[in-house]
A and B are shown apart, each in its own frame.
Chain A
Amino acid sequence: MSLSRRGFMAAAASAPVLMRASEALAQGIAPRRGGTLQMMLTPEPPVLQIGVNQQGPTLVAAPKMFQGLLTFSPALEPEPVLAKSWTISPDGREYVFALQEGVKWHDGQPFTAEDVVFSIMKFHMELAPRARAIFQLIETCEARDPLTVRMVLKQPFQPFLLMFDATAAAMVPKHLFDGRDYRTAPAVQRPVGTGPFRFVEWQRGNFIRLDRNEEYWKPGQPYLDSIIYRIIPDSQSRRLALESGQVLLSQTNDIEPFDIPALRQRPNLEVHTAGWEYFSPLSWIELNHRVKPLDDARVRRAMSMAIDRNFIVNRLWFGVGKPATNPVASTTRFHDPSARLPAFNVAEANRILDAAGYPRNAQGVRFTLKHMALPYGEIWTRLSEYLRQAMRNIGINFEMESTDAGSWARRVGNWEYETTINFVYQFGDPTLGVERTYVSTNIQRVTFTNTGGYANPQVDALFLRARTAAAAAERQAAFSEVQKLLIEEVPQIWLMELSFPTIHDRRVRNVITTGLGVHKSFDDVFIAG
């Protein structure tokens, strides 16, 4: 350990380390050093340099090597990582971060405030659309001294801190990227971060291997000797690998939901669904408002009422996830529990459509809509099949279209669809992850914008008010109002607050301790003897 005494004290004093150690001790097990944790990663990411790539598998694997200034508890409270502490000025515009001491990059160079300024103002600003949208609010960002970073915003922006988790803005080494093309720099192929595990080997199509960072700044951590991600393309082979103990942990969409009941029965495995609070993915039927009669709010309300969300959660996802109640997930800040979608009621849905003037023809069909299933695995096809059934009950005929991932993204991005399924991360705050789907200023020809083309000046104004208000109470008022309004309008038909199962061998401990679940650094994960 090359940590200074002060560094040691600082790290030891940070609450989460103590909390997790005591948590483990409370279960009667002291963290054990050693062992290799074999997991799976699905699908294989194209590159592991976070920022250059922001796909799901990269966000899972890269935070073992790269860290952010902060991370977040399940209640979305900030916790220190590379920032030891931080202060926010009363007007909500000035943020000062004090960095951990004695942190080194994997190549031995010291991590300093200059790296932070570079990562935020240049690297992520250039590469990552999500970071760019927020970081352009920064007026100045300076390294006051090697361990202090000061940022001043052009306007107060309350969700600002949420952008400092490793998955949103990982710290990258300035000395390896500055002055080069970030996408083609050599470090992209051999990632260098500050995290508890360092990159060792990647045999494409086979495995990725990360080894313990002996110079890690938290004393005594990490506990594991190495982490190996196996690439197993077939979902049944993945299930077999987990059942037979060839891998010890599965995450995200490694395991199809319909395999979960059987895995719950296995005595050596634990199934968890927590750890998605920060992302809070919400799924919906994505409607293209340019297609008639989807521009009619009565039609959208009736369609929403015809869906049994409990059936979806319990029979398709086997209890992993929750029925959606409104456009803001219940785990996201400013969710208003009093704003709830009307209950499942097929008779009422039919009455609404009759009254709105959409009569059934001789075959009992009011109108036909094309429906594109989400090409991300078997479960989404099953969902679309259920929806076709549900829509038939109210005289709407869903004509199924199948695509692959490339065509799906292209068609949704170009507005060339009638209905499809989509799910979107909320990133902890409605301004970061909900607003983008509903405001008319974000109608763009790109996926995950307001591709449906919904436009309502009232909704625009409320989201703007919530975005710019400095006080949480004022933001809550605006968000509550917009949730009630959106429930009346049903611009998209929300289905489910998604969660993904984390299934692991009982000997693996401390897997889910934050609101980011398997996306954390794993520096406190250990395999009990």
Chain B
Amino acid sequence: MEPSRLPGFLLRRGAKAAIVILAIVVCNFLLIHAAPGDPASVIAGQSGAADERFLAQLREQFGLDKPLHVQLWIYLKGVLTLDLGFSHRQQQPVWGLIAERLPATLLLTGAAFAFALAAGVTLGALAARRVGTWADSLITVVALTFYATPIFWVGLMLVLFFSVWLEWLPSFGMATVGVELTGVAAVLDVAKHLVLPAATLGLFYLAVYARLTRATMLEVADQDFVKTARAKGVPEGQVVRRHVLRNALLPVITFAGIQAGQLIGGSILVETVFAWPGIGRLAFDALLARDYAVLLGVFFCTSVMVVLFNLLTDLLYAVVDPRVEVEG
């Protein structure tokens, strides 16, 4: 890629991204308000006693007494100034609620992502090199099993095995609560809590990466430039690393880009099974409670991440494969 073309590219893609995000915000807003029920009726339904004045007070306080287009306009103005609004249900600004959950979410999804990518590509490459042997079959079977098994079931089985039978790892939470830990002990404590949820979340993606890497490597391995490399006497290890794997990585990067876009969204199922205090649960609880502002805030953040990582993926293509040119 010529460096001079980069600013123009970024500008064009940035403008497109802004329009996409704005459209997403409007769609989300309308979809959420189309769902039956509102936060006031949920609170009334959970309070065990209510009267019409109570409902009217809540709706006025939440701003739900205004017409929908006015509410949308107020929300859009907020988003444009990066103000995601206020959760009246929890009496907290939405930014604060999301920021509070962000470290836990990034830790879980980041660890799962790194684990899945590293182990997946390694296993895929291994399977491709030993194609047709027992190692290849084993890797393929394991990968397909994790790909096909529901994620919550894998989670519960891991808990049964490692927490209940072996008693090696804690079954829920992010850290031991009620004990003061500092330094290395605190890090180790979180790490112990992280193993099972990160493994559960990572195993699914591991399967995808392994399958993808194996398939594309086998495809590339037959191509002329690989034969040429071998013919001119390049050692086999170098052929695999520099010629086969590097060319096989494009689809993996595409998929990693998609997964990276979901880093912030967290995973509702894994967070539920392991009581992990992440953003997925925040969004899910907000949906059940019709906490519109929080839900829209989470959607906003995830859509920004997806758009951002798509952009990064496109740039990364050009780095990995110089033949690819970035185009707006």
Is B51 in contact with A133, judged by CB distance below 8 angstroms? yes
Is B91 in contact with A183, judged by CB distance below 8 angstroms? yes
Distance in angstroms between the alpha carbons of A203 and B97 in the assembled complex: 10
Q: Which of A15-23, A252-260, A443-451, A519-527 contacts B (4 or more CB under 8 A)?
A: A443-451
Is A406 in contact with B41, judged by CB distance below 8 angstroms? yes
Is B275 in contact with A228, judged by CB distance below 8 angstroms? no
User: How distant is A475 from chain B, measured CB to nearest CB, in Å?
Assistant: 21
> For residues 269 through 303 of chain B, which have their beta carbon under 8 Å from a beta carbon of chain A?
271-275, 277-278, 281-282, 285, 288-290
Is B159 in contact with A240, judged by CB distance below 8 angstroms? yes
A261 adjacent to chain B (CB < 8 Å): no
A46-B89, A232-B275, A234-B273 are known contacts. Are A54 and B172 too (CB-CB below 8 A)? no
A241 adjacent to chain B (CB < 8 Å): yes
A43 adjacent to chain B (CB < 8 Å): yes
A129-B51, A205-B277 are known contacts. Are A406 and B177 too (CB-CB below 8 A)? no
Q: Which single member of A188, A209, A424 contacts B177 (CB below 8 Å)?
A: A209
1/0 contact string of A383-416 vs chain B (CB within 8 Å): 0000000000000000000011111111111000
Distance in angstroms between the alpha carbons of A448 and B45 in the assembled complex: 8
Is A246 in contact with B51, judged by CB distance below 8 angstroms? no
B37 adjacent to chain A (CB < 8 Å): yes
Q: Which residues of B contact A230 (CB under 8 A)?
A: 172-173, 177, 275
Distance in angstroms between the alpha carbons of A36 and B44 in the assembled complex: 34
User: How distant is A500 from chain B, measured CB to nearest CB, in Å?
Assistant: 14
B49 adjacent to chain A (CB < 8 Å): yes
Is A407 in contact with B177, judged by CB distance below 8 angstroms? no
Q: Which residues of A contact B101 (CB under 8 A)?
A: 204-205
Distance in angstroms between the alpha carbons of A449 and B50 in the assembled complex: 8
Distance in angstroms between the alpha carbons of A406 and B286 in the assembled complex: 11
Q: Which residues of B contact A243 (CB under 8 A)?
A: 164
1/0 contact string of A439-461 vs chain B (CB within 8 Å): 00000111111000000000000
Is B44 in contact with A409, judged by CB distance below 8 angstroms? yes
Distance in angstroms between the alpha carbons of A132 and B52 in the assembled complex: 12
Count of A-B contacts with CB under 8 A?
Answer: 177
Is B49 in contact with A231, judged by CB distance below 8 angstroms? no
Distance in angstroms between the alpha carbons of A405 and B44 in the assembled complex: 11
B156 adjacent to chain A (CB < 8 Å): yes
Distance in angstroms between the alpha carbons of A231 and B104 in the assembled complex: 15
1/0 contact string of B163-200 vs chain A (CB within 8 Å): 11001001111100110000000000000000000000
Q: Which single member of A38, A56, A413, A424 contacts B44 (CB below 8 Å)?
A: A413
Is B275 in contact with A234, judged by CB distance below 8 angstroms? yes
A46-B90, A405-B288 are known contacts. Are A233 and B272 too (CB-CB below 8 A)? yes
Is B51 in contact with A449, judged by CB distance below 8 angstroms? yes
A244 adjacent to chain B (CB < 8 Å): yes
Is B46 in contact with A228, judged by CB distance below 8 angstroms? no
1/0 contact string of B47-68 vs chain A (CB within 8 Å): 1111111110000010000000
B42 adjacent to chain A (CB < 8 Å): yes
1/0 contact string of A313-343 vs chain B (CB within 8 Å): 0000000000000000000000000000000
A207 adjacent to chain B (CB < 8 Å): yes
Is A240 in contact with B164, judged by CB distance below 8 angstroms? yes
Is B45 in contact with A405, judged by CB distance below 8 angstroms? yes
Distance in angstroms between the alpha carbons of A77 and B61 in the assembled complex: 39
User: How distant is A227 from chain B, measured CB to nearest CB, in Å?
Assistant: 10
23 A-B interface contacts by CB (under 8 A): A46-B91, A55-B43, A129-B49, A129-B53, A184-B91, A205-B285, A206-B104, A206-B277, A209-B178, A230-B177, A231-B275, A233-B281, A237-B159, A237-B272, A237-B275, A240-B163, A244-B167, A246-B170, A246-B171, A406-B38, A406-B42, A413-B55, A447-B44
